[in-house]
């Protein structure tokens, strides 16, 4: 989707007033009711006892067979470092690395977290010990959104994950498929630029416009030409689906106390599990008819014995795999829906974030904006339309986009990893089941 993002950025460069919306953070305020003298004494003894237990659990006692845990802030008994977390977590974790070094630990409730902040440590995890750190550490909301981790992003490392990833890369992201969708991307981008032209001198929400454009492209790549031809018919469902995806992203980003204290998950104290299940049912009301329509089309083709080399959409490929049980790759309808949600959610949020950041940086650096506009005039021309074929020649714009990726990674902490066994990284032990965070924000700014 990098080409699509670049084309959108080019179209917005001379047209858009950028507006960003502030995120509201809801701090957790704790109040202590008046206590009797006896109750205060009991509370004091309890705190002392819990502090001792906490110290024993988090102390770095050297082991006989393996190195100790990395250093890090102790936090408070029971809750750990949770009360001290700030909204811009990647900024805070980068500051902590300056005090505790490139690898450090802290506890979030009952969950041990280890943060890696240097390129060499990240290389140990993603390359040297890739098979150990291949699994993710999903949140409860993430597992619900993917039907228990049946997608590509959160599924456990194994044959199913390898097969689905290979299928996704070879079919969805292949050069053949991307070239087949060129006219669609071109149409959607030009429609977005026309939208910008109609609002010259008025504020415009770049994020919303990019989201609609990206969503239309992805849905058409998933469901094929049928989606494009019947867009009017699906317009209402498409608008509703976009709203549901936005709510999905908000729920996935919402802190959940049950993620830090798994014993509380059954109580769903914040109602996140209930709300996510309701969202999933709403999504299924839109996805199921679309999938059923694709199944009917496949059935009609078989009955009429239509043959040909027409391009198959991604859903058709998955449905054929579901029906062909003897070819080594087996999927069911639930897995298909999990994979489709994976593509939609993963493909929209990151692209939108980067388009917004690129436009924000350009508007805050007028001299850079002028150089980009000058390059566009020289390479494309004033009265010509930007095509994807122009992108390899736009070297300065490419540098601007890449520098924005470096300064503002779409996922500054990536998706947390969870080692399948105890491992040694940077001379320290990372126990099995630990939440491992790769601080890409700090790594990109490491001189």
Same domain, yes or no, for 89 and 206?
no
Give yes or no for a contact between 339 and 152, defined as CB atoms under 8 angstroms apart. yes
Cβ 334 vs Cβ 384: under 8 Å: no
pTM above 0.85, yes or no: no
- The Cα–Cα gap between 145 and 166 comes to 22
Residue 316 is assigned to a structural domain of this protein: yes
Pick from 173-177, 208-212, 349-353, 443-447: least confident: 173-177
Task: Mention every residue, 6+ apart, whose C-beta is less than 8 A from residue 181.
Answer: 217, 220, 221
Structural domain harbouring 118: 1-13+64-137+416-446
- Tens of pLDDT, residue by residue over 8-19, are 677 666 554 444
Of 21-25, 124-128, 235-239, where does mean pLDDT reach its minimum?
Answer: 21-25
- For residue 214, is it left (φ>0), alpha (ψ between -120 and 50) or beta? alpha
Nearest to 321 by CA among 311, 331, 313: 331
Co-location of 193 and 131 in the same domain:
no
On whether both 209 and 70 belong to a single domain, the answer is no
- Domain of 1, CATH number, reads 3.30.43.20
Tokens standing for residue 36:
């009797």
Q: Is residue 408 part of a domain?
A: no
Is the domain of 207 the same as that of 283?
yes
The per-residue pLDDT for range 110-163, each reduced to its tens digit, is: 999 999 999 999 999 999 999 999 999 999 999 999 999 999 999 999 988 998
DSSP 23: P
Q: Which helix (H) or strand (E) holds 151?
A: none
Do 204 and 323 belong to one domain?
Answer: yes
Q: Which residue has the higher pLDDT, 310 or 204?
A: 204
pLDDT of residue 26: 35
Neighbour-count burial of 129, counting CB atoms closer than 10 A to its CB (0-12 exposed, 13-18 middle, 19+ buried)? middle
Give me the pLDDT at residue 279, please.
94
Burial category of 49 from C-beta neighbours within 10 Å (exposed 0-12, middle 13-18, buried 19 and up) = exposed
Establish if 121 belongs to a structural domain. yes
- Tally of domains within the chain: 2
| 280 and 190 fall within a common domain | yes
Residue pair 85/96 in contact (Cβ under 8 Å)? The answer is no
| 46 part of a folded domain | no
In a domain, 33, yes or no: no
- Kindly list the distances between the CA atom of residue 281 and the CA atoms of 240, 285, 386, 421, in Å, as whole numbers in the listed order: 13, 6, 41, 36
| Residue recorded with tokens 């988090």 | 58
Q: Is 119 domain-assigned?
A: yes
Q: Are residues 317 and 181 in the same domain?
A: yes
Assigned domain for 105 exists = yes
Please check whether residues 133 and 182 belong to one and the same domain.
no
My answer on whether 190 and 322 are in the same domain is yes
* pLDDT tier for residue 382 given thresholds of 50, 70 and 90: confident
Q: Are β-strands 111-116 and 435-438 bridged in parallel, bridged antiparallel, or unpaired?
A: parallel
Neighbours of 206 (CB within 10 A): 24
- Hey, how many other C-beta atoms are within 10 angstroms of the C-beta on 261? 18
Q: Is residue 238, in this structure, part of any structural domain at all?
A: yes
Q: The tokens of 61 are what?
A: 């006692």
pLDDT-derived band of residue 81, with 50, 70 and 90 as boundaries?
very high
Decide which of 325, 345, 365 is a domain's last residue. Answer: 345
Q: Is residue 218 located within the same domain as residue 317?
A: yes
């Amino acid at each position: 989707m990098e080409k699509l993002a670049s084309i959108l950025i080019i179209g917005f460069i001379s047209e858009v007033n950028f507006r960003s919306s502030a995120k509201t953070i809801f701090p957790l305020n704790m109040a202590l009711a008046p206590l009797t003298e006896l109750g205060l004494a009991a509370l004091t003894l309890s705190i002392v006892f819990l502090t001792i237990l906490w110290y024993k659990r988090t102390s770095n006692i050297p082991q006989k067979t393996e190195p100790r845990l990395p250093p890090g802030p102790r936090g408070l008994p029971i809750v750990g470092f949770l009360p001290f977390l700030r909204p811009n977590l990647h900024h805070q974790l980068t500051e902590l690395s300056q005090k505790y070094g490139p690898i450090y630990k802290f506890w979030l409730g009952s969950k041990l977290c280890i943060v890696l902040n240097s390129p060499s440590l990240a290389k140990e995890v993603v390359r040297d010990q890739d098979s150990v750190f291949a699994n993710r550490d999903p949140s409860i909301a993430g597992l619900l959104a993917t039907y228990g981790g049946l997608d590509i992003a959160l599924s456990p490392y194994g044959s199913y994950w390898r097969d689905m990833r290979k299928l996704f890369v070879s079919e969805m992201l292949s050069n053949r498929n991307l070239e087949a969708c060129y006219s669609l991307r071109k149409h959607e981008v030009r429609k977005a630029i026309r939208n910008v032209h109609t609002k010259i001198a008025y504020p415009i929400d770049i994020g919303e416009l990019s989201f609609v454009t990206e969503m239309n492209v992805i849905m058409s790549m998933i469901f094929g030409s049928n989606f494009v031809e019947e867009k009017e018919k699906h317009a209402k469902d498409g608008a509703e689906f976009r709203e549901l995806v936005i709510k999905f992203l908000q729920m996935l980003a919402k802190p959940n106390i049950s993620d830090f204290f798994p014993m509380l998950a059954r109580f769903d104290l914040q109602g996140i599990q209930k709300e996510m299940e309701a969202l999933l049912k709403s999504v299924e009301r839109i996805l199921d008819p679309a999938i059923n329509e694709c199944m009917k089309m496949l059935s009609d083709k078989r009955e009429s014995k239509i043959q040909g080399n027409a391009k198959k959409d991604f859903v058709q490929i998955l449905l054929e795999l579901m029906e062909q049980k003897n070819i080594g790759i087996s999927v069911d309808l639930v897995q298909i829906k999990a994979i489709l949600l994976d593509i939609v959610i993963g493909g929209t949020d990151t692209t939108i974030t980067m388009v917004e950041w690129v436009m924000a940086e350009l508007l805050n650096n007028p001299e850079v904006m002028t150089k980009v506009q000058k390059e566009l005039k020289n390479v494309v021309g004033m009265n010509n339309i930007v095509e994807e074929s122009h992108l390899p020649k736009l070297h300065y714009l490419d540098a601007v986009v890449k520098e924005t990726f470096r300064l503002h990674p779409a996922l500054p902490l990536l998706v947390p990893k969870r080692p399948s066994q105890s491992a040694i990284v940077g001379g320290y032990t990372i126990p099995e089941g630990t939440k491992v965070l790769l601080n890409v924000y700090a790594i990109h700014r490491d001189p």
